A and B are shown apart, each in its own frame.
Chain A
Amino acid sequence: MTVSQETLDEIALSRDEYEAIIDRLGREPEPLELGLFGALWSEHCGYKHTKALLRTLPASSERLLVAPGAENAGVIDLGDGLSVCFKIESHNHPSAVEPFEGAATGVGGIIRDIFAMGARPIALLNSLRFGQPDDARTRYLMNGVIGGISSYGNCIGIPDVGGEIFFSDSYKGNPLVNAMCVGLIEDGKMASASAKEPGDLLLLVGADTGRDGIHGASGLASRSFEEQAEMRSAVQVGNPFLEKVLIEACIESLDLPGVVGLQDCGAAGITSAAIEMAERSNMGLKLLIDKVPRREQGMTPYEVMLSESQERMLLAVTPGEEGPVFDLFEKWDLDATVIGEFELGENVRIFDKGELVTSTPVITLTDAPEYKFTGVKPQWLTDLQDADLSAIPVPAESPSTLLLKMLAAPNIASRFPIYRQYDYHVQTNTVVEPGGDAAVLRLKGSKRGIAVSTDCNGRICYLDPEIGTAIAVAEACRNLSVTGAEPVALTDGLNFGNPETADVQFQLTESIAGMSRAAEAFGIPIVSGNASMYNQSSGKDIYPTPIIGSLGLLEDVEKHATVAFKTEGDAIVLLGTDSTWDGIDGLAASEYLDLIHGKVEGQPALDLDLEIRTQTVCRDAIASDLIASGHDVSDGGLAIAIAESAIIGGIGASITEAPGERWDAAMFGETQSRILVSLSPENLSKLEDITSALNVPMTLIGSVGGDSLSFGDSISTPLVDADDAWKNGFTLATSD
């Protein structure tokens, strides 16, 4: 027992975990070895609290070319010789400490994950959560994060096509910054993050290694933190220009016969990247740590192994074939250095200037402990779910006034002031731009297209982690279906609080169960994922926020729908319900209840079977060219969905029925499984044929036209006012 508590704290290992290391090694670990364990057994790399749960997620599909877990992400077949991989990654804690570089390197990291598979990155999305925007610190974090994403993403020539931003005090001081990247693989040219034969060389390419980001995985990402300004040095600094060049060089290098493996250097740097490669290859590895090019003098082997310097990749290269590889990287003005070789055996052996520093079994390092737990529902949650929503008073303001207030709310207002800072046109594939429910991209050389979206409402997950996560899956898929795309795969970005507490263990268990249930019902796999734990602010855990990234396929990309109402006289129809307006139960977990009444309560609900049938109807109707617009009814309820379709289309709408006595619940209730569509009246009977065949309720609720939003005879709001509230709301809410 020679190790100090201070040392263990620095690498975020518990005393029990230290004992487990001694037990497995049969000796005390060397100091360098202990650093390796700290990194690989960190929550970030080792998934200690989530591994057992994640194994229960659905992972099969006829479209699956590479299974999830076999590589950095599963690969989905799209037909026409095209396949895709995609993944979400979090950079929450770095962004809380240093928002600009934290967010920028989060984008850089997920891009490397994707091109490491041999895929050309074709789309970025980002899913952000902050505290309420009236707080100066929150604005600093938000502007830094958006600036970082914009600066990195725009430099690199990958369109940023979507995502979400959501404000709640739950995330104050602990913002969530999750980035998703989608990559396209042509002609099955996939790369594996492994070596082929013993003797294969390990090459490090790209940036030199510095002292930045040491303990990023173990320190920042894997323990509770509050006000850790002193951890700034654990945040890396990004260079998008270098990354852009690295993408081109690495993808080109895969055409060389000698290049057999490609792996990105992310969290825990060379340690994680090289040792995971050895594990995946079932081989030992000899690492020559003194060969690693450094940008600082006097770095110890420990620092080199644990540095998280950005824009570095590892290649496995057949010995004797490295010449052309060096030539290629030289053409791109990039360094490439042999830093080791794969070998027979089971140990990773690290040499410094010819001297063996440490020798450790690979499997001992990579097989992090697994913590299993079962969740117990806390009483406070039952109390919140049982709240009597009918006791919520009807607001004194008029429905029109409240509609404008809701349209201007930070969680609802147009996100254009953000995404106009991102390049969403580059690569010239963007068919449906950000601002709708999902972005649609064409695939050049094919009739097909894809739709992509992210979704998760943390408030709903807080009030019921199981149903809330199922709703996140349902909504992420609904966002695709309203464009006409069939959901084919999901990725998840788990963002939770401290997994050592009973409440968070309950949330985790339930959330994964809900994700499994919903993904199985849709019949689609979860192809990749990321887990970020210990997200806390002022001692409180954040809302459980399992962000779902979804990807859908359009057989004919020309046949897609957008949110905008198009033509005067078109009928407005609500799919998935037999009534126009929502009832009182729809207020559960709603934006309205939180924004206007300051309450987060109620029991969220989802009829998964109805949800899936409703989405199918919508897709079939789009494929049959029946409908002119499609929009998911979600945050803010039906009144907001109608207003958005009208504002974006630049044309008003009249809803026949008045919202009635509980007009607040009617207009702003968020009952799931509803899709708002508009269509030419002559297509109504054909739409009825489709809905009745699938036993999906539909309601004709009104018509497109005029220059106001009228709900029944007595409520009418000029479209120009709604337009102003929605378009300027975000800027007003986020500036002084």
Chain B
Amino acid sequence: MFPGTWSEKDTYYAVNGVLGQDAEYIWHGDEKLDQYDAIVLPGGFSYGDFLRCGAIARFSPVMEAVRNFANKGGPVIGICNGFQVLCESGLLPGVLMRNDHLEFRCIWTDLKVENPSTMFTSTATAGQILHIPMSHGEGNYQADSATIKQLEDNGQVIFRYADTDGNITPAINPNGSINNIAGIINERGNVMGMMPHPEKASEKLIGGDDGNVIFTSMIENIVTTLA
């Protein structure tokens, strides 16, 4: 967590409180991550997001450690601001620009699972719709056309904003992201970033538990790898 992170408790609660996994908060000054099986960069406004979202966080000591962790194949999830930090750090391609309508947007979104064969989506089915809220002012995913082509060709686009029937339309696009992209994964398949907040969809009482699909997939894959 960085100063200004605010989704860390929600993420901790989803992973530990709901799914029963051991979890710890990692301070932005920490430099050793070897003892962990997976890293989640939660949402918030790291360092106040002065300058540009995630632009300061990428220089924190912990991000060097996250880079090493990812380079060794360790699973890393970046959610919202965490996604922005991963892009700024070069662990994921592309950028997250200001929403095209220029407003902050807090709404429930329907995400179509485009690639169910990643370690973060393996418990989902292809085309499954996940009902997960988003909450951001800068989630408009953009990249140059070569990068987009590569992401699309390699199945690295894993979530898209869709309607409840799975149609990908401009009308349902909440922030102007190119090709309705809501979440992507790196080429190696171990670093994933997404703008919507799976940790905010962890229980039926608060509107739905579809977000658990992502954490459960990752946990199952880690357990399988370790076994």
Kindly state whether residue B205 has any CB partner on chain A within 8 Å: yes
Shortest C-beta distance, B91 to chain A (Å), equals: 24
Question: A332 in the interface, Cβ–Cβ < 8 Å?
Answer: yes
A101 and B202 alpha carbons, distance in the complex (Å): 35
Question: How far apart are B211's CB and chain A's nearest CB, in angstroms?
Answer: 10
Q: Which residues from chain A contact B47 at a C-beta distance below 8 Å?
A: 241
Question: Which residue from A242, A422, A557 sits with its C-beta under 8 Å from B48?
Answer: A242
Contact B106 A245 (CB under 8 A): no
Does B90 make an interface contact (CB < 8 A)? no
Contacts A420-B106, A421-B105, A425-B133 hold; do A244 and B197 have CB atoms under 8 A apart?
no
- With an 8 A cutoff between CB atoms, is A444 at the interface? yes
Is B73 an interface position by the 8 A CB rule?
no
Q: Evaluate whether A422 and B106 lie within 8 angstroms (CB atoms) in the complex, with A241-B47, A332-B3 already known.
A: yes
Q: Quick check: is A156 within 8 A (CB to CB) of the other chain?
A: yes
A residues whose Cβ falls under 8 Å from a Cβ of B: 150-151, 154-157, 239-242, 244-245, 332-333, 419-431, 433, 442, 444, 557-558
Minimal Cβ-Cβ distance residue in B for A430: B206
B135 at the interface (CB under 8 A from A): yes
Contacts A156-B6, A423-B104, A426-B135 aside, 19 further interface pairs with beta carbons under 8 A come to A150-B103, A150-B104, A154-B137, A155-B45, A157-B6, A157-B7, A240-B48, A241-B4, A422-B104, A425-B133, A425-B197, A427-B9, A428-B10, A428-B13, A428-B14, A428-B199, A428-B206, A442-B205, A444-B13
In the complex, 16 of the A-B residue pairs with CB atoms within 8 angstroms, ordered by the A residue number, are A150-B103, A154-B106, A155-B4, A155-B48, A240-B48, A241-B3, A241-B45, A332-B3, A423-B104, A423-B106, A425-B206, A427-B9, A427-B10, A428-B200, A431-B206, A442-B205
Given A420-B106, A428-B199: A433 touches B6 (CB 8 Å cut-off): no
Contacts known (A420-B106, A421-B105); A426 close to B10, Cβ less than 8 A: yes
A246: shortest Cβ distance to chain B, in Å?
10
Name the one of B44, B104, B107, B207 contacting A157, with C-beta atoms under 8 angstroms.
B44
B206, A442: Cβ atoms under 8 Å? Answer: yes
Alpha-carbon distance between A333 and B48 when the two chains are bound, in angstroms:
13
Task: List, in ascending order, chain A residues with CB within 8 A of B137's CB.
Answer: 154
B104/A421 in contact, CB under 8 A: yes
User: Nearest 8 pairs between A and B by C-beta?
Assistant: A157-B6, A241-B48, A423-B135, A425-B200, A428-B10, A155-B45, A423-B106, A241-B4
Check A557 against B205 for contact (C-beta < 8 Å). Answer: yes
| In the complex, chain A residues whose CB is within 8 Å of the CB of B48 | 155, 239-242
Give the distance in Å from the alpha carbon of A47 to the alpha carbon of B205 in the complex.
43
A-contacting residues, B18-43, CB 8 Å: none
B135–A245 contact, CB under 8 A?
A: no
Shortest Cβ distance from residue B41 to the other chain A in the assembled complex, whole angstroms:
15
- Shortest distance in angstroms between A689's beta carbon and chain B's nearest beta carbon? 29
Chain B interface (Cβ within 8 Å of chain A)? 3-4, 6-7, 9-10, 13-14, 17, 44-45, 47-50, 103-107, 133, 135, 137, 197, 199-200, 202-203, 205-207
Contact among A242, A425, A444 for B106, CB-based, below 8 A: A425
Task: Contacts A425-B135, A427-B9, A442-B205 given; indicate if A333 touches B45 (C-beta within 8 A).
Answer: no
Whole-angstrom CA separation of A94 from B13 in the bound complex: 38
Question: Closest residue to A155 on the B side, CB-wise?
Answer: B45
A617–B30 Cα distance when bound, in Å, is: 56
* CB nearest neighbor in A for B11: A428
Question: Closest chain B residue to A557 by CB distance?
Answer: B205
Q: Once the chains bind, are B106 and A424 in contact (CB under 8 Å)? A: yes
Query: What's the Cα separation between A241 and B207 when bound, in Å?
Result: 28
Known: A424-B106, A426-B135, A444-B17. A244 touches B4 (CB 8 A): yes
Cβ-Cβ contact count across A and B, 8 Å cutoff: 84
Secondary structure class of chain B's binding surface, majority of residues: mixed
**Chain B: minimal CB distance from A244 (Å):** 6
Question: From residue B107, how far is it (CB to closest CB) to chain A in Å?
Answer: 6
Q: With A and B bound together, what is the CA distance between A422 and B103 in angstroms?
A: 10
Give Cα distance in the complex from A426 to B50, angstroms. Answer: 21
Please measure, in the bound complex, the distance between the C-alpha atom of A421 and the C-alpha atom of B106, giving whole angstroms. 6
User: B205–A431 contact, CB under 8 A?
Assistant: yes
Query: With A154-B104, A155-B45, A421-B104 as given contacts, are A428 and B202 in contact (CB-CB < 8 Å)?
Result: yes
Cβ contacts under 8 Å, A421 to chain B:
103-106
Contacts of A426 in B (CB 8 A): 6-7, 10, 135, 200
Distance of A682 Cα from B189 Cα, bound (Å): 55
Contacting pair A245 B4 (CB below 8 A) = yes
Option from B9, B197, B207 in Cβ contact (under 8 Å) with A433: B207
- Measured in the bound complex, the distance between the Cα atoms of B205 and A429 in whole Å is 9
- B10's nearest neighbour on chain A, judged by CB, is A428
Residue numbers in A under 8 Å from B197 (CB-CB): 425
In the assembled complex, the Cα of A59 lies from the Cα of B18 at a distance in Å of 40
* Minimum Cβ distance to chain A for residue B50 (Å): 7
Q: A314: shortest Cβ distance to chain B, in Å?
A: 21
Bound-state CA distance A450–B107 (Å) is 22
> A558–B205 contact, CB under 8 A?
yes
A572–B219 CA distance with the chains assembled, in angstroms: 47
Among B50, B104, B205, the residue within 8 A (CB) of A241 is B50
Contact A333 B3, beta carbon cutoff 8 Å: yes
Residues B6 and A244 in contact, CB atoms below 8 Å apart: yes
A431 to B17, CA, bound (A): 17
Nearest CB in chain A to that of B14: its residue:
A428
Chain B residue numbers with a CB within 8 Å of A244 are: 3-4, 6, 45
Nearest CB to that of A416 among chain B residues? B107
Residues of A within 8 A of B106 (CB): 154, 419-425
Report the minimum CB–CB distance from B105 to chain A (whole Å).
Answer: 6
How many whole Å from B210's CB to the nearest CB in chain A? 14
A726 to B4, alpha carbons, bound, how many Å?
37
> Nearest Cβ in chain A — how far from B181, in angstroms?
21
> Among B10, B48, B106, B107, which residue has the most Cβ atoms of chain A within 10 A?
B106
Cβ–Cβ < 8 Å partners of A429 in chain B: 206
Chain B residues lying within 8 Å of A333, measured Cβ to Cβ, are: 3
- In Å, the complex CA distance between A420 and B106 comes to 5
* Chain B, residue nearest A158 (CB): B6
Cα A431 to Cα B69 with chains together (Å): 37
Nearest residue (CB) in B for A421 is: B104
Q: How many Å lie between the Cα of A426 and that of B44 in the bound state?
A: 10
